[in-house]
Structure 1
Amino acid sequence: MTDFKLTYSTMYAPPAALHERFERALDEVRADLGRDHALFIDGKDVFAAAPLEKRSPVDQNLLLGRFHVAEREQVDAALAAARSAFPAWRAMPWQQRIELMRRVARLIEERVYHIAAAVSLETGKNRMEALGEVQETAVFFDHYSDLMEQNQGFDHALPNDPLSDFTSRNRSILKPYGAWVVIAPYNFPFALAGGPTSAALVTGNCVVLKGASETPWAGRLLAECIRDAGIPDGVFNYLCGSGRVAGRALVEHEDTAGITFTGSYETGMGIARAQLARDYPRPCIAEMGGKNAVIVSRHADLERATLGILRSAYGMQGQKCSALSRIYVEEAVADALIERLVQQIATIRIGDPAQRAHWMGPVATRAAYDDFAGYSKQLQQHGARLLAGGEQLRGEGFADGLYCAPTLAEAPLDHPLWKVEMFLPIAMLARVSNLEQALAEANDSPYGLTAGFYGSASETDWFFEHIEAGVTYANRPQGATTGAWPGYQPFGGWKGSGNTGKAIASFYYLPQYLREQSQTRVD
Structure 2
Amino acid sequence: MSERKHIKVTYSTLASPDPLLHEYFDESVVEAKAGFGKTFPMYINGEERTASQTFEKRSPVDLDLVMGYFQKGTAEDVNDAVATAKAAFLAWSGRPWQERVAIMRKAADLISERLFHMGAVMSLEIGKNRLEALGDVEETADLIRYNCDAIEQNDNFSRPLLSESDKHHNRSVLKPYGVWAVISPFNFPGALAGGPAGAALVAGNCVVLKPATDTPYTAWLLTECFRDAGVPAGVFNFVTGGGRSVGQTLVDHPDVAGVTFTGSYDVGMHILRTFAQGRYPRPVIAEMGGKNPTIISKKADIDKAAMGVMRSAFGLQGQKCSACSRVYVHNDVKDEFMTKLVDLTSQINVGDPTVKDNWMGPVANMGAYEDYKEFVADLHANGDVVFGGKILEELGNGYFVAPTIVDNLPLDHRLWKQEMFLPIVTVTGYEDMDKAMKMANDVEYGLTAGFFSEDDDEVQWWLDNIEAGVLYVNRSSGATTGAWPGYQSFGGWKGSGSTGKAAGSFYYVQQYMKEQSQTIVG
What is the distance in 2 between the residues matched to 1:13 and 1:364?
Answer: 27
In 1, distance between residues paired with 2:213 and 2:68? 13
**The one of 102, 127, 130 aligned to 1:127:** 130
Aligned twin of 2:57: 54
**Aligned-partner SS, 1:241:** coil
Give the TM-score normalised by structure 1: 0.98
Deviations 1:276-316 (A, max 9, x none): 22111111111111000000111111111111011000000
Q: CA deviation at 1:436?
A: 1.2
Q: Secondary structure at the match of 1:62?
A: strand
Structure 1: distance between partners of 2:353 and 2:214: 18
- 1:44 is aligned to 47
**Gap change, CA 1:466 and 1:433, over 3 Å in 2:** same
Is the Cα–Cα contact under 8 Å of residues 203 and 512 in structure 2 kept in the other structure?
A: yes
Indicate conservation of the 8 Å contact 1:171/1:520, yes or no. yes
* Contact residue 39 and residue 69 of structure 1 kept, 8 A: no
1:480 and 2:479 aligned: yes
Q: How many angstroms does 1:169 deviate by? A: 1.0
Partner of 1:143: 146
The answer to whether structure 1 residue 16 and structure 2 residue 19 are counterparts is yes
Kindly indicate whether residue 400 of structure 2 is the aligned counterpart of residue 403 of structure 1: yes
Which position in structure 1 is the counterpart of 2:458?
459
Distance in 1 between residues matched to 2:144 and 2:515, nearest whole Å: 23
Query: Is 1:422 paired with 2:425?
Result: no
CA distance in 2, matches of 1:117, 1:5: 15
Question: Is the 8 Å Cα contact of residues 319 and 425 (structure 1) preserved in structure 2?
Answer: yes
SS of equivalent to 2:13: coil
The DSSP-based 3-state class of the residue aligned with 1:505 is coil
Please state whether the residue corresponding to 1:60 is helix, strand or coil: strand
Alignment correspondent of 1:160? 163
Secondary structure of 1:326's counterpart equals strand
Whether contact under 8 Å (1:295, 1:454) holds in the other structure is yes
SS at match of 1:499: coil
Structure 2 distance, partners of 1:3, 1:68, is 33
Gaps of 5+ in 1: none
Q: Contact between 1:285 and 1:499, CA under 8 Å: does it hold in 2?
A: yes
**In 2, distance between residues paired with 1:243 and 1:250?**
9
* Cα distance, 1:3 vs structure 2: 6.8
Give distance in 2, aligned partners of 1:344 and 1:169.
64
1:401 and 1:36 map into 2 onto residues whose CA distance is 23
Match of 1:362 in 2: 362
SS at match of 2:63: coil
2: CA distance, partners of 1:499 / 1:119: 28
SS at match of 2:269: helix
User: Residue 106 of structure 1 corresponds to which residue in structure 2?
Assistant: 109
State the partner residue of 1:437. Answer: 435
Decide whether the 8 Å contact of 2:388 with 2:403 is kept in 1: yes
Structure 2 partner of 1:489: 488
| Pairing 1:391–2:394 present | no
Equivalent position of 2:504 in the other structure: 505
The reply on whether 1:91 has 2:90 as its aligned counterpart is no
Where does 1:170-181 land on structure 2 (aligned, <5 Å)? 170-181=170-181
Report the AA paired with residue 428 of structure 1.
T
Q: 1:13: how far off?
A: 1.1
Deviation at 1:381, TM superposition (A): 2.4
- Per-residue Cα deviation, 1:464-496 (whole angstroms, up to 9, x for no partner): 111000000000111000000001001000000
Q: Deviations 1:336-377 (Å, cap 9, x if unpaired)?
A: 111111111111011100110100000011100010000001
Indicate conservation of the 8 Å contact 2:9/2:131, yes or no: no
Query: Which secondary structure state, in structure 2, belongs to the residue aligned with residue 403 of structure 1?
Result: coil
TM-superposition CA deviations, 1:11-55 (whole Å, max 9, x none): 111011011111111110011110000001010110111111110
Map of 1:330 onto structure 2: 330
CA distance in 2, matches of 1:492, 1:2: 33
* TM-score (norm. length: structure 2): 0.98
Q: How does 1:310-325 map to 2 (within 5 A)?
A: 310-325=310-325
Whether 1:235 aligns to 2:238 is: no
Aligned to 1:303: 303
Task: State how 1:173-252 maps to structure 2 within 5 Å.
Answer: 173-252=173-252
Q: Secondary structure at the match of 2:215?
A: coil
Q: Aligned partners of 1:275, 1:47: CA distance in 2, in Å?
A: 28
Q: Distance in 2 between matches of 1:415 and 1:431?
A: 15
Give the root-mean-square deviation of aligned CA atoms: 1.0
Secondary structure of the corresponding residue to residue 15 of structure 2: coil
Question: 1:413: which partner in 2?
Answer: 411
| Mapped partners of 1:296, 1:111: distance in 2 | 40
Q: Aligned partners of 1:86, 1:391: CA distance in 2, in Å? A: 52
Cα deviation, 1:227-273, whole Å, max 9, x if unaligned, reads 00011000000011111000110000011010000001111111112
In structure 2, give the amino acid aligned to 1:214. D
Greater CA deviation, 154-163 or 10-19?
Answer: 154-163
Q: Which runs of 5 or more structure 2 residues have no equivalent in the other structure?
A: none
CA distance, structure 1, for counterparts of residue 414 and residue 320 of structure 2: 21
User: SS of 1:380's equivalent?
Assistant: helix
Distance 2:105 2:73 in 1: 29
Give the SS at the match of 1:180: strand
Question: Matches of 1:161 and 1:200 in 2, distance apart?
Answer: 35
Greater Cα offset, 337-346 or 442-451: 337-346
Give the secondary structure class of the aligned counterpart of 1:103.
helix
- Tell me, in whole angstroms, the C-alpha distance in 2 between the residues paired with 1:366 and 1:184: 19
Question: What is the identity, as a one-letter code, of the residue corresponding to 2:406?
Answer: A
State the partner residue of 1:77: 80
Where 2:219 maps in the other structure, the secondary structure is: helix
Which is worse superposed, 52-61 or 410-419? 410-419
Question: Residue 457 of structure 1: CA displacement?
Answer: 2.0
CA contact (8 A) 1:443 1:467 kept: yes
Structure 2 residue 519 is the aligned partner of structure 1 residue 520: yes
SS in 2 for 1:354: coil
Matched, 1:65 2:68: yes
State the 1:2 CA deviation.
4.7
Report deviation, 1:161: 1.9
- 1:446 corresponds to: 444
Which amino acid is 1:52 matched to?
F
CA contact (8 A) 2:63 2:398 kept: yes
In structure 1, distance between residues paired with 2:8 and 2:76: 43
Q: How far apart, CA to CA, are the structure 1 residues paired with 2:247 and 2:400?
A: 29
User: Contact 2:325 / 2:425 at 8 angstroms: preserved in 1?
Assistant: yes
Say whether the 8 Å CA contact 2:6–2:113 is kept in structure 1.
no
Aligned counterparts of 1:270 and 1:350: Cα–Cα separation in 2: 35
